[in-house]
Amino acid sequence: MRDQERSVVREVDRHEPVAMITACDLSKSFGAVRVLRRLSLSFQDGEVVLLLGANGAGKSTLLRIIAGLSRPDSGSVCGGAHSSVGFFSHHLSMYARLTVRENLDLFCRVAGSDQAELARALELWDLTDCAAKQVHELSKGTQARASLARVFMTRPSVVLLDEPTSNLDNKSVDILGRALREPSQRRCVVVATHDIHRLRDVATRVVVLERGVVAADSGLSAARPQISAVIDQYLESNR
Amino acid sequence: MTWLRVVLLLCVKEARVELRGREFATLLLCNSIIIAVLVGAGVSSAVLDGRVTARVFPMLLWLVFLLSATTSVARSSESELEGRGFEGLLLAGVTGSQMYLAKVIVTATLFCLNFWVLCALLAAALDQNLSSVWSQLAVLGALASCALAALVTLLAGIAGTSRLRGVLIPILSLPLLFPVFFAGVEMTSDLVTLGGLRQGSVWPVILVAAGSLYGLVGVNLFESAIRD
């Protein structure tokens, strides 16, 4: 092994996980419905967390609160130092009347990212051919790809994805998988999904929510058998 | 990127979105024309004495202007709600104040253009000659448009996702717009009847003060209003 490679390995070994986002005692209700019940969770850098749970378990609400787009009734969210957040949901968070390129250019500029990232994102997410089309003219799947490009383009330290695969074809899921696998020690990814089979390979941790509380957690940087056990148990209980 | 450059970028985005859809501008103009035609038909110079028409013209102008603006402005937030682009901007580090300022600038520009069209339309319908005071009336319209945009942009943010926002915005804004309405009517009366503003008139100060107050509140509260 060359010296340079050895020093990289030593660097990785020495790296201690850092909490990127810590949610403490979060509670949230919509009218009489209690969605989150004093939920506490911590996400570390380098993690790719699958957030599982039945409809109404509180996955989307938790992600919106972590992103700062929704306020909890009680409890708090503490971000790691200098953490920036990228958030994907079915709302897209883009302007329908702007073209894909105009949207990405806008978000790239306001986030202060390098313009080279824009060209790279268009290519990586297979959007070059539709870059000049307005977002409302695109299919749901292409819209989702454009929104995912927006999220990853600015390289946020916390990536929150709410049902990212719901409109994606297999090719697009492969692109997402590559983006999630891209090694980054200064980033954590939380993916709320029902599409377990297509995303289980990229997960380094699995958390199951049930009626607003954590029902199961494979633990930080869990081994593959532990992750599989939590997923299998979840699938079994939801049969 | 500097704070003002971001505001400028957002202004370009707002203008581009509006130019592509033309929903807000079209609705604003249609509402203005419909209300102006109705008012013009009701208070025709054919049935009223010329002096009476000159006295009611300022009130009618401002009534039509404020009504058409407040009933149309809900449409301006449609583009934000359609894809929730504002959420992406907030996460990218844009502040609510920057978004608010950009929206106020673009909305005020549209209101101002609408005011000038309305002036010409109502002046023709009520047989008023405004050529000698046109420039002063244009400045008055620009000032009032800024104040009006500052208030209704904040209210559009507060009404946000409510299905009743089309009704809520006029209901909430019209009582708060009394200073703008009275200042506009009084100053337009001076311009039409005296050919210039009365010396020592306090109405310009009231108009600027009201606009500044709306703007100050908007800059500070807009982000809280648009977050869930």
Burial of A91 from C-beta contacts in 10 A (0-12 / 13-18 / 19+): middle
**Same domain? A59 vs A129:** no
Structural domain ending residue among the three candidates A154, A174, A193:
A154
Report ipTM (2 d.p.): 0.83
Could A111 and B16 be called an inter-chain contact, meaning their C-beta atoms sit closer than 8 Å?
A: no
**Same domain? A21 vs A128:** no
d(CA B39, CA B45): 11
**Same domain? A72 vs A162:** yes
Tokens of B101: 């300022």
Instruction: Kindly list the residues from chain B whose CB atom is less than 8 angstroms away from the CB atom of residue A154.
Output: 92
Tokens of B104: 């106020």
**Same domain? A106 vs A11:** no
pTM: 0.86
Task: Tell me if A150 is assigned to some domain.
Answer: yes
pLDDT higher than 90, residue B15: yes
pLDDT higher than 70, residue A12: no
Cβ A198 vs Cβ A191: under 8 Å: no
Task: Tell me if A226 is assigned to some domain.
Answer: yes
| A-chain residue closest to B1, CA distance | A112
**Same domain? A161 vs A110:** no
| B-chain residue closest to A153, CA distance | B92
pLDDT at A222: 66
pLDDT at A9: 46
**Tens digit of each residue's pLDDT (9 = 90 or more) over B91-113:** 888 999 999 999 999 999 999 99
d(CA A191, CA A207): 10
At residue A15 the predicted structure's pLDDT band, cuts being 50, 70 and 90, is low
**Same domain? A148 vs A192:** no
d(CA B152, CA B139): 20
At residue A80 the predicted structure's pLDDT band, cuts being 50, 70 and 90, is low
Computed over every residue of chain A, the mean pLDDT equals: 87
Instruction: Kindly list the residues from chain A whose CB atom is less than 8 angstroms away from the CB atom of residue B85.
Output: 93-95, 103
Domains of chain B, residue spans: 2-227
For chain A, say whether B6 makes contact (Cβ under 8 Å).
Answer: yes
Alpha helices in chain A (DSSP H): 3-14, 59-67, 100-110, 115-124, 140-153, 170-181, 196-199, 224-237
pLDDT higher than 50, residue A1: no
At residue A96 the predicted structure's pLDDT band, cuts being 50, 70 and 90, is very high
Computed over every residue of chain B, the mean pLDDT equals: 89
Radius of gyration of chain A (CA): 18
H or E element that contains A27:
strand A19-30
Q: Return the percentage of chain A with pLDDT > 70, whole number.
A: 90
d(CA B130, CA B122): 10
At residue A224 the predicted structure's pLDDT band, cuts being 50, 70 and 90, is confident
Least confident of A57-66, A134-143, B42-51, B113-122: B42-51
Structural domain ending residue among the three candidates A131, A154, A177:
A154
pLDDT at B47: 64
d(CA B68, CA B36): 9
Q: Write the CATH number for A180.
A: 3.40.50.300
Is A94 in a helix, a strand, or coil?
coil
Least confident of A206-215, B96-105, B121-130: B121-130
**Distance from the A82 Cα atom to the nearest Cα atom in chain B, whole angstroms:** 12
Task: Tell me if A88 is assigned to some domain.
Answer: no
pLDDT at B77: 77
Would you give the end-to-end CA distance of chain B in angstroms? 27
For chain A, say whether B2 makes contact (Cβ under 8 Å).
Answer: no
**Tens digit of each residue's pLDDT (9 = 90 or more) over A160-204:** 999 999 889 999 999 999 998 887 667 899 999 998 888 888 888
pLDDT at B214: 96
Burial track A188-214 (b if 16+ CB lie within 10 A, e otherwise): bbbbbbeebeebbebbbbbbbbbebeb
Could A154 and B94 be called an inter-chain contact, meaning their C-beta atoms sit closer than 8 Å?
A: no
d(CA B128, CA A25): 67
d(CA A146, CA B88): 12
**Tens digit of each residue's pLDDT (9 = 90 or more) over B149-159:** 999 999 988 88
* Facing A110 at nearest CB: one of B1, B17, B79: B1
Task: Tell me if A89 is assigned to some domain.
Answer: no
**Same domain? A162 vs A233:** yes
* Facing A112 at nearest CB: one of B1, B21, B88: B1
> How many domains does chain A fold into?
2
**Same domain? A72 vs A179:** yes
d(CA A175, CA A167): 14
Q: Which range of residues forms the domain containing residue A61?
A: 3-83+157-237
Burial of A70 from C-beta contacts in 10 A (0-12 / 13-18 / 19+): middle
**Same domain? A211 vs A227:** yes
pLDDT higher than 90, residue A72: yes
**Same domain? A119 vs A205:** no
